[in-house]
Amino acid sequence: MVQLISTGIEDVKLVSLRKFSDERGYFYESWNADKFRAAGLPLDFVQDNQAGSVAAGTMRGLHYQIAPHAQGKLIGVIRGSIYDVAVDIRRGSPTFGRSIGVTLTASEPARIWIPVGFAHGYVTLEPDTEVVYKVTAGYAPQAEGGLRWDDPALGIDWPIPPAEMIVNDRDRNWPRLADAPAHFQYGAA
C-alpha cells in the first residue's frame, strides 16, 4: 500500500510505504508504478541514483535542473538517516521561498516526492548514510542550478550546526534566493 501524506507545501508529498517484518528481517516495495499512480503520483522515472556519505553532517544541495531537463525527485534512505529539504522556487507560487524539511531513515520505508520547480538538498544525520532517488529527467550538467543551503531568507532549521557541516565548494557558492534567476513560474506548463 502506498499512501501520500501532505506536507506544509501542497505539491511536496511524503510517501508512506507498507513494510512487512518477520524473524528473517523485512520487505517492502520501494517502487511500484501501478500503486504509485493509483495513489496520485503518475510518474515516469528515467534514472535511479544512489549517493553514499561517510560522515554525519554531509550537506548535499540545494540543487535543481532547469528546462528542458528539469527533474522531479523521489528520495529515500537505505542506510542511516537524513534531514531532507525542498524549497519552492516557482515565482508566483503562494509558497515561493518556503521550505519543508523531513527526516528520512532507513528503518522507516518512506519517500519524499519533490516536483519540478523545487530546489532540493539534505544533510546526513548518521555516518555511512546511503540515499537513493529516482528522477524524471536525466542528469544534464548544463542545466544545473542551485541555492545557498544556508540562505537566511529560506529559514531552514538544519538539525546539524552549520559550522559542523561538510559542504563542497560548489554548494557554498550557489546564489541566495534573492539573487537566483527565475527559472520556474507557478502554474506554467
Domain ranges of the chain: 2-184
* Beta-strand pair 129-135/73-79: antiparallel
Q: Which residues, 6 or more positions from 34, have their beta carbon under 8 angstroms from its beta carbon?
A: none
Q: Is 139 a catalytic residue?
A: no
Q: Can you give the pLDDT at residue 189?
A: 62
d(CA 126, CA 108): 15
| Three cell numbers, residue 79 | 542506510
Q: Which residues pair with 166 in a beta bridge?
A: 58
Active-site residue (options: 26, 133, 139, 186): 133
Residue 170 buriedness (CB in 10 A; 0-12 / 13-18 / 19+)? exposed
Active-site residue (options: 28, 63, 120, 186): 63
d(CA 172, CA 62): 10
* Beta-strand pair 110-114/81-88: unpaired
Nearest by Cα to 74 from 110, 125, 102: 110
Q: Is 26 a catalytic residue?
A: no
From the options 2.60.120.10, 2.40.30.10, 2.170.270.10, 3.40.640.10, give the CATH code of 2-184. Answer: 2.60.120.10
Per-residue pLDDT of the chain (189 residues), as tens digits, is: 788 999 999 899 999 988 999 999 989 888 889 999 998 887 889 999 999 999 999 999 999 999 999 999 999 999 999 999 999 999 999 999 999 999 999 999 899 999 999 999 999 999 999 999 999 999 999 999 999 999 999 999 999 999 999 999 999 999 999 999 999 999 876
Q: How far is CA 21 from CA 58, 79, 81, 129, 183, in A?
A: 30, 17, 20, 22, 44
Stated pTM of the model: 0.94
